[in-house]
A = this chain, B = another copy of it.
């Protein structure tokens, strides 16, 4: 009998394993613990495309020196309510969290703040950083450059990044409004996951190198294909806006060939709500917005309508005690990485 594709894995044990992999890869205990928490946060919320499946890849990149295990993120420019953080070519998540901590502090002082990050690498789900701000009583915004995989509208070649943007705002409803979206119909990782599972992709997700719709993940990933942008030219425009905010402004890399040594760029912003109104008044207004939104009639066969972040918060609550469903490629990669590193773990992969 074939092994089942998904198995529930204990969230706490998974976090411990991921942290141990990063300690073995040379990160400090503090940074490794954060990475365990940050990656399982994505999986707990159901965003597996940015979750623990990345841990073995990051560990391999650290071992190979593509990522700097001894990186220390630092402020290289600081003026008023703005700053630029250099990620020191480390695991990307660490510098972006550091940058949002600065943005929140500055927002409390000035009302709002913008911090750019450069010389950094893949930083996972930007929802994490926007959430930091919301948890601190701010409206948070975070964006990052991603792989260059979208063609200009009417064009054929990869020119625009799969650059996700996220906005988050607190409510009084037990979840945080948290939109995290790539400018493509689906995130690039979803096409990688289909490839890894040997599954076809939907016809409206991507094009081959000649601009024809395709269901073959390899035609997209390995043979010059591109991902379909949301709303046609609008998604292209959103992707370029993020390239400008994340990389042109911070001095990071965009596209290809442009200052490759500067690494990937990100931007984080925080707006302190209490500079505008008492936080309780804001969350009260958010709650009325949520009630109004959810009072909509639903289509036949639909169980309800949900705000961005709402289903994710529900999954997080459930999975924190009943486990995280991981697919075979992810479990297998974690198992191999743990064996290679000689790291013990007490979960069934």
| Given A271-B249, A297-B155: A179 and B241 interface contact (C-beta under 8 Å) | yes
Please indicate the chain B residues that have their CB under 8 angstroms from the CB of A297 in the complex: 155-157
Partner of A292 from the list B245, B255, B277, B289 (CB cut-off 8 Å) is: B255
Copies of this chain, count? 2
Q: For residue A348, give the distance in angstroms from its CB to the closest CB of chain B.
A: 34
Please indicate the chain B residues that have their CB under 8 angstroms from the CB of A80 in the complex: 81, 109-111, 275
What is the total number of residues of chain A having a CB less than 8 Å from a CB of chain B?
77
- A167–B241 CB distance below 8 A: yes
Does A302 have its Cβ within 8 Å of any Cβ on chain B?
Answer: yes
| Given A112-B81, A277-B251: A234 and B156 interface contact (C-beta under 8 Å) | no
- B159–A293 CB distance below 8 A: yes
Please indicate the chain B residues that have their CB under 8 angstroms from the CB of A277 in the complex: 249, 251
Does A9 have its Cβ within 8 Å of any Cβ on chain B?
Answer: no
- A179–B112 CB distance below 8 A: no
In the complex, what distance in Å separates the CA atom of A138 from the CA atom of B151? 27
Q: For residue A110, give the distance in angstroms from its CB to the closest CB of chain B.
A: 4
In the complex, what distance in Å separates the CA atom of A243 from the CA atom of B290? 11
- B299–A181 CB distance below 8 A: no
Partner of A231 from the list B230, B250, B288, B307 (CB cut-off 8 Å) is: B230
Partner of A160 from the list B243, B269, B293 (CB cut-off 8 Å) is: B293
Task: Give per-residue flags for A279-321: 1 if the beta carbon is below 8 A from chain B beta carbons, else 0.
Answer: 0001001101100111111110010111110000000000000
Does A177 have its Cβ within 8 Å of any Cβ on chain B?
Answer: yes
Please indicate the chain B residues that have their CB under 8 angstroms from the CB of A240 in the complex: 177, 179, 289, 293, 307-308
In the complex, what distance in Å separates the CA atom of A235 from the CA atom of B183? 10
In the complex, what distance in Å separates the CA atom of A253 from the CA atom of B285? 10
Please indicate the chain B residues that have their CB under 8 angstroms from the CB of A257 in the complex: 292
In the complex, what distance in Å separates the CA atom of A282 from the CA atom of B244? 10
Task: Give per-residue flags for A105-117: 1 if the beta carbon is below 8 A from chain B beta carbons, else 0.
Answer: 0000111111010
- A248–B285 CB distance below 8 A: yes
In the complex, what distance in Å separates the CA atom of A292 from the CA atom of B247? 14
Does A123 have its Cβ within 8 Å of any Cβ on chain B?
Answer: no
In the complex, what distance in Å separates the CA atom of A249 from the CA atom of B111? 12
Q: Mark out the residues of chain A between 6 and 41 whose CB falls within 8 Å of any chain B CB in the assembled complex.
A: none
Q: For residue A168, give the distance in angstroms from its CB to the closest CB of chain B.
A: 9
Q: For residue A254, give the distance in angstroms from its CB to the closest CB of chain B.
A: 6
Please indicate the chain B residues that have their CB under 8 angstroms from the CB of A211 in the complex: 299
Please indicate the chain B residues that have their CB under 8 angstroms from the CB of A233 in the complex: 308
- B289–A255 CB distance below 8 A: yes
Does A77 have its Cβ within 8 Å of any Cβ on chain B?
Answer: yes
Q: Mark out the residues of chain A between 151 and 188 whose CB falls within 8 Å of any chain B CB in the assembled complex.
A: 151-157, 159-160, 167, 169, 177, 179, 181, 185
Please indicate the chain B residues that have their CB under 8 angstroms from the CB of A244 in the complex: 139, 167, 169, 177, 286, 289
Please indicate the chain B residues that have their CB under 8 angstroms from the CB of A306 in the complex: 152
- Known A-B contacts: A157-B296, A244-B289. Give 10 more (CB < 8 A): A111-B114, A114-B271, A154-B304, A156-B298, A159-B295, A179-B237, A179-B240, A185-B231, A237-B307, A256-B292
